[in-house]
Structure 1
Amino acid sequence: MTRFVLVAGAWLGAWAWDEVAAELRAAGHAAHPLTLSGLAEKRDAPAGQRTHVRDVVDEVERLGLRDVVLVGHSYSGVPVGQAAGLIGDRLRRIVFVDANVPVDGEPDLAAWPSDHVRRAIGANGGFWPPPEADDFAGQDLTDDQIGRFTAGATPHPGATLTEPAVLNRPLGELPGTYVKCLLDGEEPPPAAAELLESGNWELVTMATGHWPMFSRPRELARILHEAATDR
């Protein structure tokens, strides 16, 4: 049995993984979706980049998990990637799901065109507002799935995007899988491409949009199962 810690991207909490977690449990795994500080049911907790890294590490330690697959989607690849180097031999594998990859000394926003995000954070009291329904066009989501997203989303703490990452171990030294969702662009980001050249990482593609836990939960669960077991 593999223990999965599942961390969703910006605006989302543990609830986003409900369908994927159910599939993993049906396959005999343990699934632990995690809400990061400042989001969903933890929306009142102050949060910065280091807080989110600590959230992931603390969850692994609190539950006494070993043989752990850390799964980071979108933004959460940044704290998950940092946490992976801090849990030592508890780690089995990292899986980045269409995720941002932490670069030592750089904030998340440095890796992509994000001036609009900085402006939005400044105009909204230090938080990045969730997307509106029209922003999901072309992402393989039904109206019901979009409605579920927008109903559950909470503003994202801006400091988590602007504070620099701190890596205590190069990610290329750790075993990993990068899942690229092709409707959100066919090429992995440059930092992910570097990982894929390390020899310790593999690339898997999905013909869906940026939120496969909503659009293709069963397929994503199968990919996570294979990433954990085909070793």
Structure 2
Amino acid sequence: MSLTRLFNDRWPGTVLFDLDGTLVDSAPDLAVAVDDMLHALDLPTAGEDKVRDWVGNGAGVLVHRALADRFDYQSDQAPDDLFDRARQLFFDAYRARNGSAASVYPGILPFLEACRDAGTRLGVVTNKPLEFTGPLLEQMDLAHWFEVVVGGDSLPVKKPDPEPLFHACRELGGDPATCLMVGDSINDIEAAQAAGMPVVAVSYGYNYGVRLEDTGADRVVDSLTELL
């Protein structure tokens, strides 16, 4: 089904994208940085499979999950001094590796080209710290597509709070009713639903094992080319 079916046979005026797991497979870089952090702390390394299940809620949550070696963690499980040291170790390791093994998912470029041809304005809304978001988009040769980039530390709140989506939509001069959110996880879906935006979920990303068809997303696709 073409995307225009969600917008009264028109292309959306604005499209917002999640980054990790939606535009870019960044798990290989994140996994190496997490393991570098754990190794420096004399803790068992995690490996890419675990890290793929841990990403999506921002760097702080990723560090907490890595220290706990599990998705569900108690925020007070790691002493503050350990967490602060671990987070700095992770930032240092990821800064050195950001984009080195990441890749753009198939189907992204044709969809971006279709948006450009339709005059749609594009933005990125991610929970990734802004320090790493811009360089990753540049490294992947994606930065030039997006007029607005909202990182996990751009505002006081992150997804699934809807405010980052509202903020990006306002910056692009859009209307939430004609703005599409594209993401890979329940955070993206809940944020879009709270913002009153239609949402398309991609099946290939980091969704914590959630069955996306049960989340209320307007569409679930294996590739964004299915929307063309």
What's the TM-score, normalizing by structure 2?
Answer: 0.33
Question: Which of the pair is proportionally richer in strand?
Answer: 1
Which structure would you say has the larger RCO, counting Cα contacts within 8 Å and 6 or more residues apart? 2
What's the TM-score, normalizing by structure 1?
Answer: 0.33
Q: Which of these two proteins has the greater Rg computed from alpha carbons?
A: 2
